[in-house]
Amino acid sequence: MVGLAACGESEVDNKGTASNNGDPNNGVATNNGNPNNGSNNGSNNGTGATVVARTSALNYYSDIKPIIDAKCLGCHISGGIAPFTLNTYEEVYSIRALIASNVKAGTMPPFLPGPDCRDYQFDPTLTPTQKDTIEEWANADAKEGDSAKAGQPLNAEPYTPPILDTVIEMKESYTPLLSPDDYRCFVIDWPHDGEKFITGFGVTPGSPTIVHHMIAFLAGPDKAQQALDLDAAEAGPGYTCFGDSGLGDGAWLGSWAPGGVDSSFPEGTGSKILPGSKIILQIHYNTLEATPIPDLSQVKFRTADSVEKEGFFLPWANPGWIGSQTMKIQAGNADAKHKFSFDPTLISQGISKLTIYSGGMHMHLLGKSSKTWIQRANGDQECLIDIPKWDFNWQAGVAFSEPAILNPGDELSLECHWDNSMENQPVIDGKRATPKDVVWGEGTRDEMCLGVFFVTAE
């Protein structure tokens, strides 16, 4: 890793950075002119022969900066989750080859769903033209251009975030104790006295350098005491939890990963929250490249007293995997696979049709790939999410550009693959684990294969 910027001091809000596109004076501290950026400028190949870089008409200010500003600064900003900033010509120029290779490989910006499944809202993936532009510029003379002739910001339609009226904060700040990964659940009171519907979701990470992802779960009034008991059983704010809230019911309300923005639920829909509920905020802290500092994060909701259509989060997995432990992943198997396909309208009486608006997949550390789709009664398949290369660190839900309709007779299907070979074992407390047989569970070394969908039913 090159150009590690010393982040952590500034409280820059790293959401919604799409709005400061093209503004070079956004007041962010940069490490301009750092001579130790560890890169060479490509003019000497080390054999003594001089390589003359190709020239290109492309330049940083007109062609590259608009792409970087719109697609990278959500994280590569001072105080953001990425370990270095991409704010200036010097910063981008110094690692241009690494940028080009990551962009070409599709590893940056991080987005797990593959391209051939369906269209999503807020898909950060670069278009082929944008990838080619970066590659051509980086492989040629990578000119700076003129800041007075900056290219147009990419976002033609500026994003208007929803107004989130209910902001709830962790009761007290927490400094991660476990390193480098600390998964902690915080129990927060739901503040409303009457029945409400949530229609929008967002988070504000307190300390963006260490907050790697957050998932909000619901503990309804019947589960509230159980959540408080888990909290009380451990010293300090919150309790250790991995992958789920510890209540084991997959009741997601929303998830966030760096770069994510505040979002609305589909028009006219909302999910019911009863008075006396608790919100369980699971935060994954990562301190591999950052100092543990106190965090006081917030989760935010837009609420309404009524909605046209009540929506709910449908967790989807084979009940046998959970109840009878049939999801066996053998020690040493480099491609263990489990699949589940079932018609959800058979479970709830009186449902004739499900509309699926968004979804997310959830596995743990051995996950390799996963896919979820609708298996039509006539044999056709409609892809919902296809994750060719699972990465536990970048799981976040995706909103479909067009909702999917599931009719009775269709099956909601999912398939997960795991690599339980020696080479793919997680490093726990600094030591690589040895493979063991794995089943469904909440622990770091257990696994899951869960889909979570936001749906309305008719």
DSSP string, 83-126: SS---SHHHHHHTHHHHHHHHHHT-SS---S-TTS--BTT--PP
CA distances from 390 to 107, 127, 330, 370 (A): 12, 21, 19, 7
Site membership for ligand HEC, residue 81 (CB under 6 A): yes
Site membership for ligand HEC, residue 259 (CB under 6 A): yes
What token pair was written down for 15?
Answer: 């959401």
Dist CA 352 CA 373 (whole Å): 19
Q: Shortest Cβ distance from residue 257 to ligand HEC (Å)?
A: 6
Q: Helices (DSSP H) in 270-372: which residue ranges? A: 319-323
Site membership for ligand HEC, residue 79 (CB under 6 A): no
Of the residues 29, 98, 293, 399, which one makes contact with ligand HEC according to CB under 6 A: 98
Give how many residues touch ligand HEC by CB under 6 A: 20
Give the helix, strand, coil percentages of the chain, each rounded to 5.
15, 30, 55
Dist CA 165 CA 171 (whole Å): 18
State how beta strands 269-273 and 398-406 pair.
unpaired
Site membership for ligand HEC, residue 113 (CB under 6 A): no
Dist CA 196 CA 194 (whole Å): 6
Site membership for ligand HEC, residue 99 (CB under 6 A): yes
- Select 260 or 435, whichever has its Cβ closest to ligand HEC: 260
Site membership for ligand HEC, residue 71 (CB under 6 A): yes
Site membership for ligand HEC, residue 109 (CB under 6 A): yes
- Select 98 or 261, whichever has its Cβ closest to ligand HEC: 98
Site membership for ligand HEC, residue 76 (CB under 6 A): yes
- Select 7 or 75, whichever has its Cβ closest to ligand HEC: 75
Site membership for ligand HEC, residue 64 (CB under 6 A): no
- Select 24 or 124, whichever has its Cβ closest to ligand HEC: 124
Of the residues 8, 24, 42, 83, which one makes contact with ligand HEC according to CB under 6 A: 83
Radius of gyration of the chain (CA): 23
Of the residues 7, 18, 64, 72, which one makes contact with ligand HEC according to CB under 6 A: 72
- Select 84 or 174, whichever has its Cβ closest to ligand HEC: 84
- Select 70 or 361, whichever has its Cβ closest to ligand HEC: 70
DSSP string, 385-410: EEESS--GGG---EEEEEEEEE-TT-
Closest to 336 measured CA to CA, from 443, 436, 242: 436
Instruction: Catalog residues that contact ligand HEC under the rule CB under 6 A.
Output: 1, 71-72, 74-76, 81-83, 95, 98-99, 102-103, 108-110, 124, 258-259
